[in-house]
Amino acid sequence: MVGESESLVRYVLRSRTRTTVLIGISNGQRSVKALLEHESASKSAVYNALSNLENHGLVYNSQSKQWYLTGSGSLVVNFLHRQQRLEKLIETDQTYWQSHDVTALPHSFQFDLSELVPGSIIRATDTQPSRAVREVEDRFEATTSADVVAPIYDQRQWSALLDRCESCRLIIAEAVLSALRNDGGPISGSIEDLDIRVADVSFELAVTDDCLLLSLPLLDGSYDVQTVFIAKTERARTWGTKLFERIWADAVRIDDSPESLGTNSELRSS
């Protein structure tokens, strides 16, 4: 069945007319007239595409002379929409996606990166070397709730997040836990109010009240402080929340008392 579906996808993609006609039907263009109004191909090409798609079990013609997708047709269209969204994601900043390691994410979430469209890359510049870092800080300062995955310890970001955040869950790397134990740290407020777990993570993720922030490692595994991806749609935030919950479920719980991370003076800003 999988091989069959893959063959159908390749078959559709080999023809621009078949592709646009199939997507057109999914968008409600159910008559030949409607398809021709949205398709630059000739009338004969559209009829030929419809005939081929019907022969391959992707569309059918109802008694009212309207065209509809079959189950297989709907699956192929879903694949095509996902492909188009992934192409748009890469086009947001090809340099970023070429130089960063998406395999740091669980495989299923790599496949669903199309959920992040539309989004944009915030990049540091020569005149604004802290632009990406400042973007994260501003987002943290403005939110009242957040789910955060942190592979590194950044005092300014932690201060921006924890000074105002009313409901936060944090997944931190071992290195961050060590920093909290050994550094004075910026955490203001009570540590008892924080949900913290430890996991082996190499990417940064934050789902705030109004956006998703994602920072992937470079191909050599190093952390990139120069860029951050931001998306503001509900679909992107849902993707981020699901990713967070996936890691949260497997992360190691730590005691949320001050003693587990050091003394009170180590955990609070002076």
Q: Span 24-36, mean pLDDT?
A: 90
Residue type, 35: L
Contacts of 264 (CB under 8 A, 6+ apart): 258
- Asked if 229 contacts 119 with a C-beta cutoff of 8 angstroms, the reply is yes
Q: Which domains, ranges and CATH numbers included, belong to the chain?
A: 2-80 (1.10.10.10), 93-267 (3.30.870.10)
Q: According to the model, what pLDDT value does residue 193 have?
A: 56
In which band, very low, low, confident or very high, does the pLDDT at 183 lie, cut at 50, 70 and 90? low
Task: Answer whether residue 6 shows pLDDT above 60.
Answer: no
Say whether pTM exceeds 0.85: no
Tens-place pLDDT, residues 99-156: 999 999 999 999 899 999 999 999 999 999 999 999 999 999 999 999 999 999 888 8
- Asked if 12 contacts 22 with a C-beta cutoff of 8 angstroms, the reply is yes
Higher pLDDT, 262 or 264: 262
Q: Mean pLDDT, the chain, as a whole number?
A: 85
Q: According to the model, what pLDDT value does residue 191 have?
A: 47
Q: Span 194-204, mean pLDDT?
A: 90
Q: According to the model, what pLDDT value does residue 156 have?
A: 83
Higher pLDDT, 262 or 126: 126
Higher pLDDT, 179 or 185: 179
Going by C-alpha positions, the residue among 238, 174, 227 that lies closest to residue 201 is 174
Q: According to the model, what pLDDT value does residue 41 have?
A: 83
Task: Answer whether residue 39 shows pLDDT above 80.
Answer: no
Lowest mean pLDDT among 11-15, 73-77, 174-178, 248-252: 174-178
